[in-house]
């Protein structure tokens, strides 16, 4: 009867022990390398070293909330949640600047589409002024027409043709000085506004 070959209990990286039978029935133990065992198709089923794989759970990553634009955090105008220059050019919320506090120069604010929705520190600043002191006309909400530029050298926009349709604001009139003034300012009474109606300087409205 043949003695069945066996794998050594201590399997090392140096090799496996393999058993063979001589013709006299004696078992002869020979060294066998790992490569020899692998070539022979023998796969050991006992491992001295167990590799433990630990998978750490990845914590859920929550999106951080969008930053809030406030009077303190923005040195310009709040266009939704982002801060833009005070001229509000290119803001999708509106291109007219509404100050957080009415009547103050250099104050921060936010962008609106119409001054009727401008809450300037609890006061509705519903008069729209325009200035052409920069590269493009810039709208700003004010408490009264007296806050708007009153001449070209003060930043008023030009209406070189003498027609109010050149003015950026619907309630502006083209005065004798070829300047676009907001209805309600001096010399605007009875002048046609850009909306096609006449200006009442006393009421500061273009509805005549």
Distances (CA, A) of 60 to 32, 57, 66: 51, 9, 18
Vertex 57 angle, CA 54 and 55, to 5°: 15
pLDDT value of position 64: 57
Q: Residue 205: its pLDDT value, please? A: 94
Nearest CA to 167 out of 202, 115, 207, 132 is that of: 132
Please state the φ and ψ torsions of residue 157, each to the nearest 5 degrees. -80, 155
pLDDT at res. 60:
54
User: Closest Cα to residue 206, out of 166, 165, 173?
Assistant: 173
pLDDT of residue 41: 52
* pLDDT (0 to 100) of residue 143: 95
| Confidence (pLDDT) at 6 | 34
pTM: 0.66
pLDDT digits (tens, 9 = 90+) for 162-175: 999 999 999 999 99
Q: What is the pLDDT of residues 8-46, one digit of tens each?
A: 344 343 333 343 444 444 444 445 444 453 454 544 454
What are the tokens at 84?
């833009």
- Tell me which residues of the chain have a pLDDT lower than 70: 1-67
Please report the pLDDT score of residue 84 as a whole number.
Answer: 95
């Amino acid at each position: 009867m043949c003695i069945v070959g066996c794998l050594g209990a201590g399997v090392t990286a140096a090799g496996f022990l393999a058993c063979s039978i001589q013709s006299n029935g004696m078992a002869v133990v020979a060294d066998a390398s790992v490569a020899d065992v692998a070539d022979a198709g023998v796969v050991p089923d006992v491992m001295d070293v167990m590799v433990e794989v630990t998978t750490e759970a990845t914590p859920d990553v929550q999106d951080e909330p969008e930053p809030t634009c406030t009077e303190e955090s923005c040195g310009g105008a709040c266009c939704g949640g982002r801060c833009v220059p005070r001229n509000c050019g290119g803001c999708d919320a509106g291109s007219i600047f509404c100050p957080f506090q009415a009547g103050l120069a250099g104050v921060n604010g936010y962008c609106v589409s119409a001054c009727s929705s401008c809450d300037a520190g609890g006061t509705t600043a519903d008069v729209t002024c325009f200035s052409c002191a920069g590269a493009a006309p810039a709208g700003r909400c004010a408490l009264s027409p007296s806050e708007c530029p009153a001449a070209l050298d003060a930043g008023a926009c030009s209406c070189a043709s003498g027609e109010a349709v050149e003015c950026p604001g619907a309630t502006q009139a083209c005065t004798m000085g070829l300047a676009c003034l907001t209805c309600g300012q001096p010399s605007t009474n009875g002048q046609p506004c850009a909306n096609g109606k006449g200006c009442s300087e006393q009421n500061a409205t273009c509805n005549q």
